[in-house]
Every structure is written in structure tokens, then in C-alpha cells.
Amino acid sequence: MLAENYHSQIVSQIKENEFTHRAGRLTIHLAREFGFCYGVDRAVDYAYQTRQRFPDQRVFLTGEIIHNPHVNEKLRAMGVQFLSDAAGGAASPSALDGLTPDDVVILPAFGVTVAMLKELDRRGCTLVDTTCGSVLNVWKNVRRYTEGGYTSVIHGKVWHEETQATASQAVEYGGRYLVVFDDAETEIVCDFIRRGGDSDAFLTKFRNAVSPGFDADRDLQRIGLANQTTMLMSESLAMGDKLKEAMIDRWGRETIDYHYQAFDTICSATQDRQDAVVALLRERPIDLMIVIGGYNSSNTANLARICADAKPTFHVADPDCLVSSGEIRHRPIGSKIEVTSTGWLPREGLINVGLTSGASTPDNLVGAAVARLAAFCT
């Protein structure tokens, strides 16, 4: 079923042809690492197996299995119910009220909070855990920070399911956390580490991104760096460097190991896709880039950000966004809304298009995008 739903013959052919496809005046250059990663492939595989294994029982997902609407709609069509649908977004405790021991609940690749896991266990549901191994590695290191008395500083999006689950690991083991999103927030944290300041103002700024009872004066004396696995590695490393330097300025280089730790929590699959698109832009004569993947997919959005720094880039949710050779629906970098642009594809002359997709995008969508592009240029 997975092969039937997500395999693409044309993508297989492109891989065999040095990741290049030519059609008329068009040349498509495909990144050498793209699409489904191991963790996503495993999660979707488990979800399909669960529906087959329990044909006569209700099967639920706490939320999206991955951030790809195409994949999630397939699961809905198979009769898998999403607890987050009733909650209007992320599943809340009230969304679990109707569950019984006869029900089966799939935990998504991002994982779930400790509180939700405990509640599901209390209700006696059969649980199928598809949490990605890279996410589990982050959790392991957050627990290590907690056991060592360090506050976990998590580079991530506080509203993202994975970051919420990671933060809950720190709280479960009696620790503290602070979620930091970008360079601007990093500078605020570093400034407080170096000079102290108004704790109330700090908590107001990070009010939704700290553990209960967080005390900036106390809890920023010893910190450990972790990250949401789909963030840009370069940004996570830069954040770590800045936090470490702030700690050195405050406490001295001789005691830095006591005040700052950083275990490797970078997801190799995420990094491989980022490295591949950088190599594509460097090695191929690209005129414009197309990045395919859900708009709420963090790793896809980061791929688009990398591309946009070098070439005109269009982040599209699916192949249907390639409306015609003159019209495209896409989400601009940094925007929250989809827009329609015209004149995006040159009407004459040779054209080199770079193509990649996020870790939650199956090959069949990439193949469909290739077919549309070819039709526009032949």
C-alpha cells in the first residue's frame, strides 16, 4: 500500500540519471537528499500497519502523523480519526474523553507530551508509538541535563508539537526549560546571562516558553543546549556559540563546563537535506528553486529559507500549486499566508529548475511536480 500510494517511477528514473531530468527547454535538477526521511517513512508505515492490524477497532492519531496534508488525508480516508480535529488543532485533554480500552491510539513522529502519554495509558488504550529516534535522542539528552542540574535551553518553536513534547521531558524529571526561537531571542538571553536585569520583564517576554516557576536569575546559571530536530543546524550551532560565550563572560572560561553543556541533538536526516540543497545551488546552474512540502512543516520551511538566500524560490504545498506556466500558488519566505504570483516561469529560452522537498513529502508528489513542470515547457 505504501509503494502504491507514494512511489514515483519518474523520481526513480531521475535518480538513475544523475538526479537530472530534461524535457524540451526545461532541465530539472533534483537535490540528492530529499523527501521522506527514515523517521517519517517508519511513522507512516506504522500507521498503515496499525489500521490493518486492528480492522475492527477505532484507530486514532493524537495529531498529524507528519506535517503533510496529503499523507494525513490518506490516513483519514482509511478511517483513522484525528483527536486534534475535534480540538481545532493540537489535541487537548478534553479530546481524550471518549477513548476506551478498546481504542488504538497512534503517537506521531514528533512524539507527545508526558502528560498526554500518562493520560492515554491511564485510559488503557493500545498505543502505537512512532516517535522518531532523533526526537528520542533529544529527550535523552534533556533528561541528562535535568539530572545534572542544568536548565534545558531548547532551540525551537514553542507552539510545535515536538518542542512541547521535549519541554515536558524536562518538567517530568524535575527540571527546567526555556524555549528560544531565533537570534533576536538568543541575544536577550545572552544579555541577561551577562548582566542580569529585570526578571519580571524577562518572564513577560518568554511567558509561554518557560517551565512553571522559572526564575531567570537562578535558572540561567547552568544551561544545556537542545533543539527541535527540524531547525536549521547552522542556527542551532550559532545559538550554542553565543550562549557559551555569554557564560564565559559571566563565569569565566575555567568553569565553563560547570555552567554550559551541549550534546549533539542535530537530526542527521534534516542536516543531510539541508546540505544537499546547498550543494545543488553551488554545483548546478539553477535559475529558480521549487521546494515542495506542507506549509506547517518546519524542515520544509527551512529548506526554502536556504534556497531563497541564493535564488528565486517558491515554497509550494503540493503539485496543484503549479497552476500554469504563468501562475503559481506559494508561501513567501517568512509569510504565514499563501499568495498567487504570475510570471514566475520564463516563457522563452532554456530554464534550469532546482527541486527539493521536505522530509514529510512523499516521492509521488515530487513526481507529479516534475510532470507538471515538463508539461509547461514542452
According to the model, what pLDDT value does residue 97 have? 85
Q: Catalytic pick from 162, 172, 235, 338?
A: 162
HEC per residue, 123-157: CCCEEEECCCHHHHHHHHHHHHHHHCCCEEEEECC
Backbone phi, psi, residue 120, to 5°: -65, -40
Grid cell digits, residue 300: 520544509
Q: Do 141 and 123 fall into the same domain?
A: no
Q: Do 213 and 199 fall into the same domain?
A: yes
Structural domain ending residue among the three candidates 111, 132, 153: 132
Q: Do 255 and 157 fall into the same domain?
A: yes
Number of domains in the chain: 3
Contact between 81 and 54 under an 8 Å Cβ cutoff? The reply is no
289 contact partners, CB below 8 Å, separation of at least 6? 277, 281, 304, 307, 308, 310, 311, 312, 313, 314, 353, 354, 355, 356
Q: Do 323 and 295 fall into the same domain?
A: yes
Q: Could you read off the pLDDT of 223-276 as tens digits, one per residue? A: 999 999 989 888 999 999 999 999 999 999 999 999 999 988 878 888 999 999
Q: Do 333 and 244 fall into the same domain?
A: no
pLDDT truncated to tens, each residue of the chain (378 aa)?
Answer: 888 889 999 999 999 999 999 999 999 999 999 999 999 999 999 999 999 999 999 999 999 998 888 899 999 999 999 998 865 555 556 678 889 999 999 999 999 999 999 999 999 999 999 999 999 999 999 999 999 999 999 999 999 999 999 999 999 999 999 999 999 999 999 999 999 999 999 999 999 999 999 999 999 999 999 999 989 888 999 999 999 999 999 999 999 999 999 988 878 888 999 999 999 999 999 999 999 999 989 999 999 999 999 999 999 999 999 999 999 999 999 899 999 999 999 999 999 999 999 999 999 999 999 999 999 998
Q: Do 139 and 255 fall into the same domain?
A: yes
Structural domain ending residue among the three candidates 235, 266, 297: 266
Q: Is residue 314 within a helix (H) or strand (E), and if so which, with residue range?
A: strand 313-316
Domain with residue 216: its CATH number is 3.40.1010.20
Grid cell digits, residue 204: 513577560
Q: Could you read off the pLDDT of 83-139 as tens digits, one per residue? A: 988 655 555 566 788 899 999 999 999 999 999 999 999 999 999 999 999 999 999
Query: Is 162 considered catalytic here?
Result: yes
Q: Do 67 and 100 fall into the same domain?
A: yes
Q: Which domain holds residue 149?
A: 134-266
Collapsing DSSP to helix, strand or coil, 228 comes out as coil
Alpha-carbon span 95 to 84, nearest angstrom:
7
Alpha-carbon span 236 to 109, nearest angstrom:
21
According to the model, what pLDDT value does residue 87 have? 55
Q: Do 253 and 276 fall into the same domain?
A: no
According to the model, what pLDDT value does residue 168 have? 97
Q: Cβ of 357: how many Cβ atoms within 10 Å? A: 28
Q: Do 144 and 75 fall into the same domain?
A: no
Structural domain ending residue among the three candidates 266, 282, 317: 266
Q: Do 222 and 247 fall into the same domain?
A: yes
276 contact partners, CB below 8 Å, separation of at least 6? 31, 32, 33, 34, 356
Residue 32 has, within 13 A of its CA and on its CB side, a CA count of: 13
According to the model, what pLDDT value does residue 322 have? 98
Q: Do 177 and 244 fall into the same domain?
A: yes
According to the model, what pLDDT value does residue 220 have? 97
- pTM to 2 decimal places: 0.88
